Amino acid sequence: MSLDALLAALRGADVDARIDAAEALGALGDRKAVSHLVAALRDADADVRAASCESLGLLADARAVPPLVSLLRDPDDEVRGEAFSALIAIGQARSGQMPDFSGEDPSNPSMALTQIVWPADLEAVKLLHDALDDADPEVRIGAAYTLGRLGVVGAFERLATLLLADADDDVRAAAAFALGDLAAHGERRAVPTLIEAWEGLGEADEVAVLVVRALVDIGDRAGYAVFRRGLRHRDARVRQLSAMGLSRLGDPGAAPSLVRTLADPHAGVRRNAALALGHLNDRMALKPLIEAVPGENPEVRAAIADALTRFPRKLLHGALTDALHGPDPALRRAAAYLMGRVGVDEGLEGALADADATVRKAAALALGNLARPHHRAALEGALRDAEWPVRVAAVEGLRRLGDPAAARALEALRNDPHDVVQNAVRVALRALSHRTP
């Protein structure tokens, strides 16, 4: 449908047609539609207003900023949300086109600035800056996020005041996010301001999340103490972000705190702590990482395995071998699993004779993961294990190994007394039949 036809439909009496037209105009990408979509923001139907907001965000024209800011007060939740999203989209799209606002007062720009900035952009920035003082917190939030996305460093002072003193925690959180954006545009004062805000957070968990997220994104060494303390915060999101922050800073002094965090009650925190320890590559973390595997969920176990691959091969080999021959079956099982994940196989075949069936099972699966043909004979021997879970693991190990030569040994197990083994054999034989000898 042509631009003119869509504009006519946008002005028509049919609500569904107006909604469709509003959506199509955004996809069309013609900025001639901006003024018409702005007019549609006053439509009596909330869905038309919401669709118009979305399309204005796609068109990313600064002329839409003032009416979109006004819609942050819309009585409809969806419209307010779409207006907010559109403002952020415009800020993101135009951030690379904005000049340096350093030293400029956004509400009273210099003559030089007015000569190099598009009037619509300048009007939008002035309006957003003034909106930081609006009585409606929704408006302050939208303005803060958008100014941050635009990278208007001239708004730093006002955003810092919002972060440190605004009565609404959601506004403070938005200001923290915006200061992180300004830091990416070179505003060095953002880091000490964020740290000051951290010190006075109190019960404001949402603000804590955004403060720490901003500090993580900035990656300044000054955030180290915040991240260390953040590992003990009551909100799991803060603890996860703090582990990420310590990982990015790469300070080995954080290793003891991160090791303790491997016992955190939240799986996401434990995962991030494990990955951070891998980045720090501190040898004191090697044994605690291995010892953290028993009882862990698959996601955290995989993170630990990934972290271990970053350690020197000789150290990793020694630690896993020690665990594989230790007195604790749970650690032996963990060592077998990790060997299969990190590519260490010395002693792994011997684990197929371990006194504990769960260790034998883990060893069979790990040997399959390694996909090294010389382990086929050992896995075929495990097909005769007295415990059916080990036999299933040996079948699966041979399937993972992918050697069609194992088919003969698997055929002999077709009539295994246990149904699960029989089913595993059928699956493995079917998979190996598609392999080229």
pTM value > 0.75: yes
* Contact partners, residue 135, CB within 8 Å, separation at least 6: none
What value does the mean pLDDT of the chain take? Answer: 92
Q: pLDDT digit string (tens) for 272-312?
A: 999 999 999 899 999 999 999 998 999 999 999 999 999 99
- The pLDDT of residue 97 is 57
Q: Give the closest residue to 129 by CA, choosing from 144, 116, 112.
A: 144
- The pLDDT of residue 123 is 80
Taking 90 as the threshold, does the pLDDT of residue 125 lie above it? Answer: no
- pLDDT > 90 in the chain, percent: 85
- The pLDDT of residue 103 is 56
Residue pair 238/208 in contact (Cβ under 8 Å)? The answer is yes
Q: How far is CA 44 from CA 15, 77, 120, in A?
A: 10, 15, 27
Q: pLDDT digit string (tens) for 144-176?
A: 999 999 888 889 999 999 999 999 999 999 999
Could you tell me the pLDDT band of residue 116, with boundaries at 50, 70 and 90? very low
Give 132 or 106, the one with higher predicted confidence. Answer: 132
Q: Give the closest residue to 49 by CA, choosing from 59, 40, 57, 58.
A: 40
CATH number of the domain at 348-437, please? 1.25.10.10
Could you tell me the pLDDT band of residue 102, with boundaries at 50, 70 and 90? low
Determine the average pLDDT of the residues in 391-395.
97
Could you tell me the pLDDT band of residue 201, with boundaries at 50, 70 and 90? confident
List % helix, strand, coil for the chain (3-state, nearest 5).
75, 0, 25
- The pLDDT of residue 104 is 56
Q: How does 17-40 read in b/e, with b if 16+ C-beta sit within 10 Å?
A: bbbbbbbbbbebeeeebbebbbeb
Taking 60 as the threshold, does the pLDDT of residue 118 lie above it? Answer: no
Taking 60 as the threshold, does the pLDDT of residue 223 lie above it? Answer: yes
Taking 70 as the threshold, does the pLDDT of residue 101 lie above it? Answer: no
Q: Any idea of the CA torsion for 87, 89, 92, 95, to the nearest 10 degrees?
A: -50
- The pLDDT of residue 109 is 57
Three-state DSSP state, 133: coil
